[in-house]
Chains A and B, each alone.
Chain A
Amino acid sequence: MSKLRFASVWMGGCSGCHMSFLDLDEFLFDLADKVEVVYSPVADVKTYPENVDVCLVEGAIANRDNLELIHTIRRNTRVVAAFGDCAVTGNVTGMRNPLGGPEIVLDVAYRNGQVLRPQIPDDEGVVPPLVPKVSPVHVVVPVDLYIPGCPPSAKRIRAVLERVVAGQPVEMIGRDLLKFG
């Protein structure tokens, strides 16, 4: 059997879910036998490839780069998994939404009260502009699998990946798999 083509991406999140993924320790060796990592923050690949079997999406859709990439991911991927609370609910990344649009938030963070050259880098192609409202992944594209948790524990990630790799259906039931936060 050929190896599963596996990807993971880091959107509007803190990378904690990827840290938790690395917490899989020796299971990563078992995983490496069964999957080929075709795109990931921990792999040096610049463009999202085609024919990806499964992709873990960490983070919410918070800026224009996230928005473009998630559509590419959906087109090129069989199983898209919302990986962690930011991807599933918006979570901490989405806490800017009640405050209003990105301008207000950027003012609070970078302009107000700044003594030394208050500014926001807005040159085209430098920092991607924020989208008006942070969204969970499933609001933008259909999602096949939800893995809650901030971050999901290594135990939870392993339970899900073992089934995905074995081609078994994943049923998220019970506190060990479903608790948010």
Chain B
Amino acid sequence: MSVKTLTIDGKAVSAAEGDSVLEAAREAGIEIPTLCHLDGLTDIGACRMCLVEVTGSNKLLPACSTRVAEGMEVRTNTEQLRKYRRMVVELLFAERNHICAACVANGHCELQDVGIAVGMDHVRYDYLYPNLKVDVTHPLYGMDQNRCILCARCVRVCDEIEGAHTWDVLGRGVKARVTTDLNQPWGEAQSCTSCGKCVMACPTGAIFKLGSTVEESVKERGKLAFLKTARDKKQWVL
């Protein structure tokens, strides 16, 4: 496999051909904020948090799904990018009912974390206040549409790691919802193995363990990294 050399924020970086700009940046210790990215899952560039500037491109590119190229010049933290990232986070908060104080993920939520990272002290856009459902038909887990940011990590972890493909996205645009089986209540979704990987993958309080307090609801992302390492490298290390 050939090696590509590029610069990220002025720093010379080398990466393997086929690596994403995000992987190359993180390897070099340059942090780019993400939401829909989860190590081990196919990147889909859905959340636009990781947008970067690339010299020669007149549009912003998602670092997670842009491959490194020889001589590429990448900027990850310009004023324009900081402005757009904050807009992205504010729009996510405005789109559904994210009430941190009444959320099971309060204190360990990736949406809350990026809000802090981008310096969001309030939301400038009008809140939409959609009337959304909470599905608690599954015996172990619950799904709260109010907290969903449509990152589709649940969809991908269920399909790519568990192999069940219980989750999918129904509808388009502002009407899009994650859904189980053919839009059935989760408790009636026959393809669900109740493995709980969607709970581990969900960045917010949208998918959660029933009966858990806020303090108990820390997502166990380590288990997904364990499975990823086991598959890629045949190393079964916890």
Contacts and interface: CB of A to CB of B under 8 A. Distances in A.
Contacts of B100: 85, 91, 150, 179-181
A95 B123 contact: no
A59 interface: no
A180 B93 CA distance: 12
A95 B102 contact: yes
A143 interface: yes
B127 A94 contact: yes
Interface residues of A, number: 29
Contacts of B102: 92, 95
A180 to B, nearest CB: 4
B121 A88 contact: yes
B103 A181 contact: yes
Contact of A178 (B106, B107, B121): B121
Contacts of B132: 98
A91 B99 contact: yes
Instruction: Provide the main secondary structure of the chain B interface.
Output: loop
A98 B119 contact: no
Nearest to A143: B122
A12 interface: no
Contacts of A150: 100-101
Interface in B93-143: 93, 97, 99-103, 106-107, 112, 115-116, 119-123, 126-127, 129-132
B122 A98 contact: no
A77 interface: no
Contact of B119 (A94, A95, A173, A181): A173
16 contacts: A82-B122, A88-B122, A89-B93, A89-B127, A90-B127, A92-B99, A94-B127, A97-B127, A97-B129, A98-B97, A98-B132, A148-B122, A175-B116, A179-B112, A179-B116, A181-B112
Interface of A: 82, 85, 88-92, 94-95, 97-100, 133, 136, 138-139, 143, 146, 148, 150, 172-175, 178-181
